[in-house]
Amino acid sequence: MESAADKLAEVQSNIARMCKPARREPEDVKLIAVSKTHPAERIIPLLEAGHRVFGENRVQEAQGKWFQLLEAHPDVELHLIGQLQSNKAEEAVELFDVIHSLDRPSLLKALAKAMDKAGRRVPCFVQVNIGDEEQKGGCPIAEVPAFLAKVREANIPLAGLMCLPPSGIEPAPFFALLAKLAQDNGAEGLSMGMSGDYETAVQLGSTHVRVGTALFGARGS
């Protein structure tokens, strides 16, 4: 069986390979190891291999695992990649270094308030509902410019735009659309690409890939 370090090296080398034709530098693509559902024992080998950037999608689950892991590895950068309820904003601001799911005015208000209270500004990606899917979170495309203005007004550091393209169809057009939206609206970062499509996302300008399965294996097994 491949070790965690082997898988990490493989994903990193795939990222580097896709950077080349796109004339990008591998250092400009941050690999977020998505450790959701995996226990600390599965995370420790990646920490031991030197990896320091991790993603979780639930505040409570992350608290349970990471308070202890962070004691041993205070230099870890923790990203919240999942939908966030406004009533969890304070806890999210305390624990996470970057939030990828800012997508609505009520959450913006709650996060701004939590950041004021904590005296800590946490950079946020604005999640965009790039496939216009009813069941998915994310700011509607047409509302992105106005929402970004609100984010800036609230003094929340804008990390960039994030998307989860519709499943089952070619993701490239959605990644390209997110990149265009970011460019048109002066947003720098692009959080896009998961295990199945991070190589395509890197070609199209992703600065943050969120990779779980390719590093940890399937969830729930």
Ligand X SMILES: *Cc1c(COP(=O)(O)O)cnc(C)c1O
Cβ at position 220, least distance to ligand X in Å? 11
The least distance separating ligand X from the CB of residue 36, rounded to whole angstroms, comes to: 6
Residues whose CB is less than 8 angstroms from the CB of residue 131 and which lie 6 or more positions away in sequence, other chains included: 165, 166, 174
CB of 191 to ligand X, least distance (A): 8
Based on CB atoms, which residue is closest to ligand X, 147 or 198?
198
| Smallest distance, ligand X to C-beta of residue 54, A | 12
How many angstroms separate the Cα of 153 from the Cα of each of 90, 105, 112, 202?
20, 12, 10, 30
Closer of 7 and 210 to ligand X (Cβ): 210
CB of 23 to ligand X, least distance (A): 26
Nearer to ligand X, 113 or 195 (CB): 195
| CB atoms closer than 10 angstroms to residue 27 | 8
Beta carbons within 8 Å of 111's beta carbon, 6+ residues apart: 89, 92, 93, 99, 102, 122, 124, 154, 156
Instruction: State which residue, 68 or 213, has the beta carbon closest to ligand X.
Output: 213
DSSP 21: T
Closer by beta carbon to ligand X, 37 or else 113: 37
- Which residue minimizes CB distance to ligand X? 212
Which letter does DSSP use for residue 165 in this model? P
CB-based burial label for 217 (10 Å; 0-12, 13-18, 19+): middle
Applying CB under 6 A, which residues contact ligand X?
34, 36, 57, 81-82, 164, 194-196, 210-214
Give the nearer residue to ligand X in terms of CB position, either 144 or 164.
Answer: 164
Task: Determine the Cα angle at 205 with ends 62 and 178, to 5°.
Answer: 75
CB of 59 to ligand X, least distance (A): 13
